[in-house]
Structure 1
Amino acid sequence: MTTRPELRGTFGAVSTTHWLASAAGMATLEAGGNAFDAAAAAGFVLQVVEPHLNGPGGDVPILVFDATHGRARVICGQGPMPRAATPAAFQALGLSRVPGSGLLPATVPGAFGAWLRLLEEYGTLRLGQVLGHAIGYAADGYPLLPRAAQAIEVLAPLFREEWAESGRTYLVGGAPPGPWSRMRNPALAETYRRILKEAEAAGSRREQQIRAAHRAFYGGFVAEAIDAHMRNTDVLDATGRRHRGLLTGDDMARWEPRTEATVSRRYRGLEVHKPGPWSQGPVFLQQLALLEGFDLAAMGLDSADYLHTITECAKLAYADREAWYGDPDFADVPLTALLDGDYAEGRRRLVGEHAADILRPGSPDGRTPWIPPLDRTEPPNDPSWLGQLYDGLPTVALPVVAATEARGDTCCLTVTDRQGNMVAATPSGGWLKSSPVIPGLGFPLGTRGQMAWLAEGHPNSLAPGKRPRTTLSPTLVLEEGRARLAFGTPGGDQQDQWTLGFFLAHADFGLDLQHAVETLAFHSEHVPSSFTPRTHRPLTVKIESRCPHEVTSDLTRRGHEIESVPDWSLGKVCAVGAEPGDGMVRAAASPRGEQAYAVAR
Structure 2
Amino acid sequence: MFPRVLMFALIFVLISFTARSQDDRARPTRPPADSVIGWHASGKAGAVVAGGAESVEAGMTILQNGGNAIDAAVGTLLALSVTDAHLFCFGGEVPILIYDAGRGVVESIAGQGAAPRLATLEHFETKGGIPRSGIESAAVPATLDACLTALDRSGTMSFTQVVAPTLQILDRGEHPWHADFARTLRRLVDAESAAADRRQGLRLVADAFYRGPIAVELDAWSRAHNGLIRYNDLATHVTRVEEPVSLDYRGHRILKPGPWTQGPALLQALQILEGFDLSSHASGDADAIHLQAEALKLAFADRDEFYADPLFQPVPLSLLLAPEYADARRALIDPDRASIERIPGDPAAGLARLDPDRSTVRIGTDGPSLDTTTCIVADAVGNVVAATPSGWSGVLAGDTGVWLGSRLQSFNTWPNHPNVIEPGKRPRITLTPTLVLKDDAPVIAVSVAGGDAQDQSTLQMLTNLIDFELSPSDAVTAPRFNSEHLVGSFGQPAPQLGLLQVDPRVGDEVLAELEARGHRIERSRAPVGSNPTVLRIDPETGLLDVAGCPDSRRHSAAY
**TM-score normalised to structure 2 length:** 0.89
Matched residue, 1:35:
69
1:156-167 aligned at under 5 Å gives the runs: none
With over 3 angstroms needed to count, the CA separation of the structure-2 counterparts of 1:391 and 1:347, relative to structure 1, is: closer
Alpha-carbon distance between aligned partners in 2 of 1:570 and 1:287, rounded to the nearest angstrom: 18
Task: State the 1:94 CA deviation.
Answer: 4.1
Map of 1:427 onto structure 2: 389
Q: Which residue of 2 aligns with 1:276?
A: 258
Could you tell me which amino acid in structure 1 is paired with residue 499 of structure 2? T
- Pick aligned residue for 2:341 from 358, 366, 390: 358
2:432 matched residue in structure 1: 473
Worse-matched range after superposition: 443-452 or 504-513: 443-452
Percentage of pairs with the same residue: 37
Query: C-alpha distance in 1, partners of 2:476/2:493?
Result: 28
Which of 195, 199, 208 is matched with 1:216 structurally? 208
- 2:108 corresponds to which residue? 74
Which residue number in structure 2 is paired with residue 521 of structure 1? Answer: 480
Secondary structure of the residue aligned to 1:265 is: strand
Matches of 2:528 and 2:181, distance apart in 1: 31
**CA gap 1:478/1:141 in 2 versus in 1, 3 angstroms:** farther
- Answer yes or no: is the 8 Å Cα contact 2:412–2:491 preserved in 1: no
Residues 265 and 273, structure 1, Cα contact 8 Å, conserved in 2: yes
Q: Please list every run of at least 4 consecutive aligned residues from structure 1 whose deviation after the TM superposition is greater than 6 angstroms.
A: none
Q: Deviations over 1:531-587 (max 9, x none)?
A: 125253112111112120011111111111111111345422112232111122221
Q: Distance in 2 between matches of 1:475 and 1:344?
A: 21
Letter in 2 for 1:11: A
Q: Which residue of 1 aligns with 2:442?
A: 483
Corresponding residue to 1:448 among 403, 407, 416: 407
Q: Secondary structure at the match of 2:389?
A: coil
Cα contact 1:569–1:592 (8 A) shared by 2: no
Q: Which residue of 1 aligns with 2:557?
A: 599
Q: 1:370 to 1:428 in 2, by over 3 A?
A: same
| Cα offsets for 1:396-452 (capped at 9, x unmatched) | xxxxxxxxxxxx3201100111110100000001x2xx2221111123212111111
**Which residue matches 2:191?**
198
Aligned to 1:399: none
Structure 1 residue 7: Cα displacement: 2.9
Structure 2 CA distance, aligned partners of 1:392 and 1:294?
31
Quick check: 1:116 aligned with 2:156?
Answer: no
In the alignment, is residue 134 of structure 1 matched against residue 127 of structure 2? no
Contact kept in structure 2, 1:219 and 1:249, CA below 8 Å:
yes
1:546 alignment partner AA: R
Distance 1:570 1:251 in 2: 34
Q: Which residue of 2 aligns with 1:89?
A: 123
Aligned-pair CA distance for 1:90:
2.1
**Cα shift readout 1:352-377 (whole Å, capped 9, x = no counterpart):** 1222222100000127652432134x
Shift of 1:314: 0.6
Tell me how far apart the structure 1 counterparts of residues 258 and 159 of structure 2 sit (CA, whole Å).
28
What secondary structure is seen at the aligned counterpart in 2 of 1:546?
A: helix
**Is the contact between residue 280 and residue 471 of structure 1 (CA under 8 Å) also seen in structure 2?**
yes
CA contact (8 A) 1:513 1:575 kept: yes
* 1:61-105 residue CA offsets vs partner (Å, 9 max, x unmatched): 0000011111111001101111222212222x242x211112222
TM-score after normalising by structure 1: 0.83
1:42 maps to amino acid: T
Residue matched to 1:231: 223
Contact 1:525 1:537 in 2 (8 A): yes
Query: Map of 1:2-401 to 2, 5 A cutoff?
Result: 7-91=41-125, 93-95=126-128, 97-141=129-173, 169=177, 185-200=178-193, 202-233=194-225, 244-352=226-334, 353-366=336-349, 370-376=359-365, 393=369
Give how far 1:5 is off.
8.4
**Residues 391/556 of structure 1: CA separation in 2 closer, same or farther (3 Å cut):** closer
Instruction: Output the CA distance in 2 between the equivalents of 1:531 and 1:552.
Output: 29
Structure 1 contact 81–465 (Cα < 8 Å) conserved: yes
Distance 1:212 1:269 in 2: 44
Partner SS for 1:531: coil
- Residue 560 (structure 1) aligned with residue 519 (structure 2): yes
* 1:195 positional shift: 1.3
**CA 1:337 to 1:357, structure 2 compared with 1: closer, same or farther past 3 Å?**
same
Deviation at 1:391, TM superposition (A): 5.9
Q: Note if contact 1:37-1:119 (Cα within 8 Å) is conserved in structure 2.
A: yes
The superposition leaves residues 310-353 of structure 1 with CA deviations (integer Å, 9 ceiling, x where unpaired) of 11111100000000000011111000011111101110111112
The answer for unaligned runs of 5 or more in structure 1 is 145-167, 170-184, 234-243, 377-389, 394-407
Aligned partners of 1:495, 1:371: CA distance in 2, in Å?
24
Looking at structure 1, the residues matched to 124 and 527 of structure 2 have their Cα atoms a distance apart, in angstroms, of: 40
Secondary structure in 1 aligned to 2:531? Answer: coil
Structure 1 position 290, deviation (Å): 0.5
| Structure 2: tracts of 5 or more residues without a match | 1-37
Q: Counterpart of 2:442 in 1: which secondary structure?
A: strand
Any idea what SS the aligned residue of 1:58 has?
coil
Change (3 A) 1:271 1:208: same
SS in 2 for 1:440: helix
* Deviation for aligned residue 1:458: 1.5
The 3 A distance-change label for structure 1 pair 575 and 425 is same
> Alignment partner of 2:377: what SS?
strand
Q: Is the 8 A contact 1:6 1:512 kept in 2?
A: no
CA distance in 2, matches of 1:391, 1:187: 33
Residue 299 of structure 1: how far off its partner (Å): 2.5
Matched residues in 1 for 2:264 and 2:388: separation?
15
| SS of structure 2 residue aligned to 1:316 | helix
Q: Deviations over 1:461-518 (max 9, x none)?
A: 1111110100001000111111111111111110000111111011001111111111
Post-superposition Cα deviations, 1:260-311, rounded to whole Å, max 9, x if no partner, equal 1000000010000000000000011011000000111113221111111111
State the partner residue of 2:379: 417
Alpha-carbon distance in 1 for matches of 2:87, 2:173: 18
Partner of 2:15: none
Tell me which residue corresponds to 1:584. 543
SS for the counterpart of 1:496 is: helix
Aligned residue type for 2:87: L
- Residues 1-36 of structure 1 deviation map (CA, whole Å, 9 limit, x = unaligned): xxx886322211111122111111111011000000
CA distance, structure 2, for counterparts of residue 342 and residue 529 of structure 1: 28
Q: Secondary structure at the match of 1:461?
A: coil
Provide the residue aligned with 2:469 in structure 1: 510
**Aligned residues of 1:6 and 1:514 also touching (Cα < 8 A):** yes
* 35 and 596 in structure 1: CA distance in 2 versus 1, 3 angstrom threshold: same
Alpha-carbon displacement from aligned partner over 1:234-284 (angstroms, at most 9, x marks no partner): xxxxxxxxxx22221111100121111000000010000000000000011
Partner AA of 2:513 in structure 1: D
Q: Deviations over 1:168-193 (max 9, x none)?
A: 64xxxxxxxxxxxxxxx111111111
